[in-house]
Amino acid sequence: MLNAYALLWQKQAQHPDWEVPGLGLYLKQGQYLAGEVIQLDFQLELLGLRVGQEAESLHLTIVPFKEIAAFTLLHLEKCPEFVAELSAF
């Protein structure tokens, strides 16, 4: 499912009216991070997550894909177009 999210996250550039849900990440070390995905790098298998409540937050956390144990999508009620596309996967 994370792959489907990533594909749709990349597709958002073609749909500027889309809101994209944030991610809550459960890491293998037991930590939990929540925020907005800023970058996905498939070659390096890294995810960049802006952590914090403010849109101007500069707290960027880089997470290797292999460290993600589970994830949740956040604020789905704000993202009906994205959710509709995601449910097609």
Q: How many CB atoms lie within 10 A of CB 34?
A: 15
Number of domains in the chain: 1
In degrees and rounded to multiples of 5, residue 78 shows phi and psi of: -90, 0
Residue 59: which domain range? Answer: 2-86
HEC readout, 20-72: CCEEEEEECCCCEEEEEEEEEECCCCEEEEEECCCCCCCCEEEEEHHHEEEEE
Determine contact, residues 25/66, Cβ cutoff 8 Å: no
Q: What is the full per-residue pLDDT of the chain (89 aa) written as tens digits? A: 778 888 888 888 788 788 888 899 999 999 999 998 988 888 999 999 988 766 565 688 999 999 999 999 998 898 888 888 888 87
CATH number of the domain that 29 lies in?
Answer: 2.30.30.100
